[in-house]
Structure 1
């Protein structure tokens, strides 16, 4: 007959202590960490922001690799009546721009400048960026609308080039002979051997007409203070950086 041995005696249950303080301290540490993480995040965002702040164009330089193509930068200066208030600052900006381009573009890049309104005239024919000057504005007829075709006809008269030709309009885009569709605009650019179009508008309160955005939806307006020569020059510099695939940095 098997005899069952008595089992161990149960002791008294341990006394339950008060609530643990560890969750409280963990929560407090987390609350202190959140502001630090936010400050670190916003600091990184500011460092990565590619948009330059206000200043002189000479404070900036083009940085980064470029593709193999050279650039023929063609500035179309709107000399119509609605743009006359900005003419002084604009010409001063061009005087700052020309030597800056000489230091930031390649020897094979070119600059040309045209004035346009009802007619168009050449202020500077395609010239190597390193040897270009900043000639004074030329006279153009005004009063019959601001037209793009006369300017394109002048561009057609330039010597042929293997460079990518980019049009940069300094204008309020009140152009009366724009193509009526994006497809027509692309056809027009191919006919005139234009690779890209950019628009710089000298005022935040200037309304760009829908006809421009219909024809050139990829050429969204870059607005700046057109009364400030430095702001005008920096806006052009930013656009040049986009055309070359580089960054404009201090």
Structure 2
């Protein structure tokens, strides 16, 4: 089973790089980076730009896959976003996973909305699938296209994910009880039954996960098992988990779980 980790870029580059390298040592499948103009929860905190961080991670790691979770579709034009993706994929030697979403944070709206999300998806997916789709848009290395992960929650975006995505990702929702979160995730995951789309859940922060999964390895294992029964194939966890939970056990439990699940 694939285990992924999401880095929140609210620390300096040396610390963020150290976290990414530790995750690579632990054997996680993908190190993802959050993509916003500002920290959505704490706009006053420092924040590094995802598409500045990703090429640096590409050059500083060797095995782990990398990507934005998710590239914010309202911050860049589809062509610029596709060019970012192609460049980082080239630098990393083909290790990029492109996550893409419509954006939800109010602070990101200052960038404007370049076009409807469906058009963003069409342009980006086409550019990554068959190069060159646009005149003057050559691929650096002709090969299979970059895998596309799409964040989706509503019926229209779920339908777009079923059409375009290699992987669907959801955090469930904010402020939900365990029962509400589980039922909603199961209903959304059912959208992809009968398709080849992998289904991934972002979890581990108290903001989106009501249960204290980092209290023990058994707790996170139970959480993963229940959601696998609901149709989830893969899990991405916020990293590091310790500051999220203010629990000294969290980091140890995370590492024991990741190394034990390989």
The TM-score range, normalised by the shorter chain, is 0.3 to 0.5
TM-score between both structures, scaled by the size of structure 2: 0.37
Which has the greater radius of gyration? Answer: 1
Q: Comparing both chains, which one has the higher relative contact order based on Cα–Cα distances under 8 Å and sequence gaps of 6 or more?
A: 1
Structure with the largest fraction of helix? 2
